[in-house]
Amino acid sequence: MTNQTPFRTTRLEEACGPGTNPTANRTMGEIIAARFSRRGFLKGSMATAAIAATVSPLAMMAASEAKAQGASAFSFPEVEAGVDADHHVAEGYDADVLLRWGDRLFPDAPDFDPKAQTAEAQRRQFGYNNDFVGFVPLEGSADRGLLCVNHEYTNEHLMFPGIVTVKDGEITVSEADRTRVDIEMAAHGGTVVEIRRNTGGKWAVVLDGALNRRITADTPMEIRGPAAGHARMQTPDDPTGTKVLGTINNCAGGITPWGTYIMAEENIHGYFMGELPEGHPEAANYERLGIPESTYAWGRFHDRFDVSKQPNEPNRFGWIVEVDVMDPNSVPKKRTALGRFKHEGAESVVAKDGRVVFYLGDDERFDYVYKFVTAGRYNPEDRAANMDLLDEGTLYVARFHEDGSLEWLPLVQGRGPLTAANGFQSQADVLIETRRAADLLEATPMDRPEDIQPNPANGRAYVMLTNNTKREEADAANPRAKNAFGHIIEIIEEGEDFTATTGRWEVLLQCGDPSIAEVGATFSTETTANGWFGMPDNAAVDADGRLWVSTDGNSSSDTGRTDGLWAVDTEGEARGTSRLFYRVPVGGELCGPCPTEDMTTFFVAVQHPGDGGEDWEGHGRPSYYEDLSTRWPDFDDAMPVRPAVVAITRQGGGRIGSA
Ligand code: FEO
Ligand code: CA
Ligand code: CA
Ligand code: CA
């Protein structure tokens, strides 16, 4: 094997470095964290390695923290936390694999053959690393609908045979050739596929579904909204600045009230390589996003991913993409009005006055929480009338004050510092450089904002802040320095109005092991040794208004457990109680928790299973195609580990998590 490159971190989000926010307002360091102190939370946390040294039992927690028993909104037998090669769901439930990487999506699609992969085959098969999962019912049926699934990124060492060498316990991946690059590009993007529930209550893929489609890094898309056509969006391939090929690193997303599928473009920096021409005007813009990072080799074969050849191309990524799933030939639209940054997701809610509000996290250390409020109102009677609602509206960024109040600051050209003098000639400039605009507005730098889930029942929204071990100083909204396990903030919009520009906020949970005092976790005392978690990432609010949280980053060495899906009480005396419902195989992350409206099915996405295993005693060495820590879900020696979407149902039917 020639042309070898050092093995790289394959999880882009873990490779995001110390953050690229250069502003002085990065930690609100001068603010005394008054609320934080009042509540007696322990200041600071420790590196995970140091934590094990000091243990105080749950019983040591203050008596005032004790919660009444039996007040939980959830009822199911808790799963035992741990690490092994399989997935596990609560007793009395089935977790059935519905779609695996490589599964056929069309009648003419070839069977998956991991040893003879081609881009052509991959374009007709389920892609890699399923993240967001959405469900759009068809013809009002609870038993038939479209599953919409993002394919965030590719793990070459798990996907391709014969590309890894091992020396002294370190693995090296050979440099990609054109064939491999094109398979990777075809394994990105998204899947829309019809599924049906059979009489036994189990879900199955409808191969000849008329609306089935694959979206990839090559799918033609339109650029819409205020940045469309701007000179900074124009390239040699597209002098109009309105057409672009593909979408990449689609992490979480959303389903709009009008039934379109939102794909959020997150860690776009790793797909670009090369050097900008000397003195290029986009240099500072790209530096703020860490572009180029050269994680992937795509730019060696496709000029648009080489910034020395097509320097404006990165401005055409980092957006929210909207797909009309009811037309398999529809052209997906990049909606520039919602800003350009490392978009985790875009969950939405119809406000009291009919405008629609999208909550947006920018997942990087010290970056921001945003929301977008449409100018127009949602029309539930006329789907077509809603189709361009995302082209006009106001993007806001959050400032969290230490007194528990919250301001939403509008990112509007000409207002405050967002002027021509500061390089913002138009709203297009504000949107292309959303982060810099938010820096100037002195938004609050957060501990990696991931999914933000509104709860239509109570005017609140839950912000997953996954972790930030680079934070030196705590502040009110990020109350732990060296935040290894993350936290969840509850936003309470003024008057329970999601369009409000002011509100309040609370820390719902500081995550981590509550039996270790120095961690400073704040789960209720009703939370068992299985029930706590670290690194919240995605969330769902079910039809009963209950919060479910899925995680990214729990492992043998961090928390002694894999990632999974936890049921988290937010109301009454049980507030802050968490219970484990489902957990993934070793090395995996749990994404896309998607409960159906009738709560009889919970779709979840098991992402990058088998990516790791060094710290698990069942493997104890690097995991790669020829020596995997798990071969979930097939457990067939001829098959590699495969990311997959799982449908969880209750044995004998019934609502999930209820008595
Ligand atoms: Fe792709 Fe922020 O997780
Ligand atoms: Ca995520
Ligand atoms: Ca969500
Ligand atoms: Ca994550």
The tens digit of pLDDT for each residue in 247-278 reads: 999 999 999 999 999 999 999 999 999 999 99
Cα 280 to averaged position of ligand 4 atoms, centre (Å) = 32
Residue 168 has pLDDT above 60, yes or no: yes
Given this model, what pLDDT does residue 19 score? 75
Cα 363 to averaged position of ligand 2 atoms, centre (Å) = 8
Residue owning the nearest CA to atom 1 of ligand 1: 251
Given this model, what pLDDT does residue 658 score? 96
Residue 37: enclosing H or E segment and its boundaries? helix 34-38
The response to whether residue 322 sits with its C-beta less than 6 Å from ligand 1 reads no
Residue 349 has pLDDT above 70, yes or no: yes
Mind listing the pLDDT tens digit for each residue in 179-197?
999 999 999 999 999 999 9
The response to whether residue 152 sits with its C-beta less than 6 Å from ligand 1 reads yes
Show the tokens assigned to 164.
């890894």
Mind listing the pLDDT tens digit for each residue in 585-620?
999 999 999 999 999 999 999 999 999 999 999 999
The DSSP 8-state label assigned to residue 80 in this structure reads P
Instruction: Say whether 180 sits in a helix, a strand or coil.
Output: helix
How far CA 463 is from CA of 315, 360, 412, 547, in Å, comes to 27, 9, 24, 11
Peptide bond into 292 cis (omega under 30): yes
Residue 18 binned pLDDT confidence (cut-offs 50, 70, 90): low
Cα 384 to averaged position of ligand 1 atoms, centre (Å) = 31
Ligand nearest to the CA of 542: 3
Cα 99 to averaged position of ligand 2 atoms, centre (Å) = 19
- For the chain, how many structural domains are there in total? 1
Residue 118: enclosing H or E segment and its boundaries? none
Burial 369-390 (b: 16+ CB within 10 A, else e): bbbbbbebebeeeeeeebbebb
312 falls within a domain: no
44 falls within a domain: yes
Q: Are 170 and 157 in contact (CB under 8 A)?
A: no
The response to whether residue 451 sits with its C-beta less than 6 Å from ligand 1 reads no
91 falls within a domain: yes
The response to whether residue 344 sits with its C-beta less than 6 Å from ligand 1 reads yes
Cα 362 to averaged position of ligand 2 atoms, centre (Å) = 11
26 falls within a domain: yes
pLDDT average, residue stretch 556-579: 97
Ligand nearest to the CA of 486: 4
Show the tokens assigned to 577.
């109680």
Residue 342 Cα: closest atom of ligand 1: 2
Beta bridge partners of 590: 606
Instruction: Say whether 409 sits in a helix, a strand or coil.
Output: strand
The response to whether residue 251 sits with its C-beta less than 6 Å from ligand 1 reads yes
Residue 466 Cα: closest atom of ligand 1: 2
The alpha carbon dihedral of 314, 316, 319, 325 has a sign of: negative
Taken as a whole, the chain contains a residue count of 659
How far CA 421 is from CA of 79, 281, 394, 441, 443, in Å, comes to 57, 15, 22, 15, 20
Given this model, what pLDDT does residue 169 score? 86
Given this model, what pLDDT does residue 207 score? 98
Burial 93-115 (b: 16+ CB within 10 A, else e): bebebbbbbbbbbbeebeebeee
The response to whether residue 363 sits with its C-beta less than 6 Å from ligand 1 reads yes
Burial 467-487 (b: 16+ CB within 10 A, else e): bbebbeebbbbbbbbbbbbbb
Residue 366 has pLDDT above 50, yes or no: yes
The Cα–Cα gap between 389 and 324 comes to 13
Given this model, what pLDDT does residue 65 score? 41
Residue 448 Cα: closest atom of ligand 1: 2
Cα 608 to averaged position of ligand 2 atoms, centre (Å) = 12
Q: Are 157 and 172 in contact (CB under 8 A)?
A: no
Identify each DSSP E strand in 324-392 by its residue range.
Answer: 333-335, 347-350, 355-361, 365-367, 369-377
Ligand nearest to the CA of 249: 1
Residue 152 Cα: closest atom of ligand 1: 1
Percentage above 90 pLDDT, the chain = 88
Cα 176 to averaged position of ligand 4 atoms, centre (Å) = 25
Percentage above 70 pLDDT, the chain = 90
Given this model, what pLDDT does residue 72 score? 97
Q: Are 444 and 489 in contact (CB under 8 A)?
A: no
Given this model, what pLDDT does residue 20 score? 81
Residue 632's CATH number? 2.120.10.30
Residue 24 binned pLDDT confidence (cut-offs 50, 70, 90): low
Least-confidence region, from 165-169, 325-329, 357-361: 165-169
Residue 131 Cα: closest atom of ligand 1: 1
Given this model, what pLDDT does residue 29 score? 32
Ligand nearest to the CA of 266: 1
The response to whether residue 450 sits with its C-beta less than 6 Å from ligand 1 reads yes
Cα 568 to averaged position of ligand 1 atoms, centre (Å) = 21
The response to whether residue 475 sits with its C-beta less than 6 Å from ligand 1 reads no
Residue 292 has pLDDT above 70, yes or no: yes
Residue 16 has pLDDT above 70, yes or no: no
Cα 594 to averaged position of ligand 4 atoms, centre (Å) = 17
170 falls within a domain: yes
The response to whether residue 493 sits with its C-beta less than 6 Å from ligand 1 reads no
235 falls within a domain: yes
Residue 450 Cα: closest atom of ligand 1: 2
Residue 528 has pLDDT above 70, yes or no: yes
Compute CA 13 distance to the chain's CA centroid, rounded to the nearest angstrom. 10
Domain that holds residue 373: 4-266+318-471+480-650
Ligand nearest to the CA of 14: 4
Cα 94 to averaged position of ligand 4 atoms, centre (Å) = 26
pLDDT average, residue stretch 506-522: 97
Residue 252 Cα: closest atom of ligand 1: 1
Residue 22 binned pLDDT confidence (cut-offs 50, 70, 90): confident
Cα 396 to averaged position of ligand 2 atoms, centre (Å) = 21
Mind listing the pLDDT tens digit for each residue in 453-464?
999 999 999 999
Residue 156: enclosing H or E segment and its boundaries? helix 156-159
Beta bridge partners of 407: 399, 502
306 falls within a domain: no
Mind listing the pLDDT tens digit for each residue in 50-87?
333 333 334 333 333 433 455 899 999 999 999 999 99
Backbone angles phi, psi at 325, to 5 degrees: -75, -10
Cα 315 to averaged position of ligand 2 atoms, centre (Å) = 22
The response to whether residue 266 sits with its C-beta less than 6 Å from ligand 1 reads yes
158 falls within a domain: yes
Identify the residue whose tokens are 């599928």: 261
Residue 351 has pLDDT above 60, yes or no: yes
Calculate the average pLDDT of the chain. Answer: 91
Mind listing the pLDDT tens digit for each residue in 408-449?
999 999 999 999 999 999 999 999 999 999 999 999 999 999
The response to whether residue 78 sits with its C-beta less than 6 Å from ligand 1 reads no
The response to whether residue 282 sits with its C-beta less than 6 Å from ligand 1 reads no
The Cα–Cα gap between 262 and 333 comes to 10
Residue 251 Cα: closest atom of ligand 1: 1
